[in-house]
């Protein structure tokens, strides 16, 4: 049985950005700029997530004059579920705030 791998920080960032966009479509270039990641990182992640059924793609319907149509991306239901799981794992792994760690415990 294959073991589920935890997404890389870059994949988690892409999933989070797409989750924040909700049902809206995102351009790969905008994701690169927003996340501070290079296209050579973001596009392979988008391709991999698409192949796994976690991201759906579409061509831009009415691109501005003088520019070719671009690919658009958004999470599928499975992708949104994965994004929630990644976010929950990140919250669980985050260190507790300093005040909570220093609070006295009663026994």
Q: What is the pLDDT of residues 37-75, one digit of tens each?
A: 999 999 999 999 999 999 999 999 888 899 888 999 999
pTM above 0.85, yes or no: no
Residue 82 has pLDDT above 80, yes or no: yes
Angle between helices 9-21 and 28-35 (to 10 degrees): 120
Phi and psi at 52, nearest 5°, equal -90, 0
Per-residue model confidence (pLDDT) at position 64: 87
Residue among 7, 36, 35, 38 nearest 21 (CA): 35
- Residue among 82, 80, 100, 102 at smallest CA distance from 90: 82
Q: Quick check: 3 pLDDT over 80?
A: no
Q: How far apart are CA 78 and CA 80, in angstroms?
A: 5
What is the pLDDT, as a whole number, of residue 62? 87
**Is the CATH number 3.40.50.11740 carried by domain 9-90?**
no
């Amino acid at each position: 049985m294959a073991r589920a791998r935890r997404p890389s920080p870059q994949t988690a960032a892409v999933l989070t950005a797409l989750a924040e966009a909700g049902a809206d479509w995102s351009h790969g270039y905008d994701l690169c700029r927003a996340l501070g990641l290079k296209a050579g990182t973001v596009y392979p992640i988008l391709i991999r997530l698409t192949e796994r059924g976690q991201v759906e793609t579409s061509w831009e319907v009415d691109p501005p004059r003088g520019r070719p149509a671009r690919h658009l991306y958004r999470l599928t239901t499975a992708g949104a579920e994965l994004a929630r799981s990644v976010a929950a794992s990140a919250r669980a792994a985050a260190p507790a705030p300093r005040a909570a760690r220093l609070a006295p415990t009663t026994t």
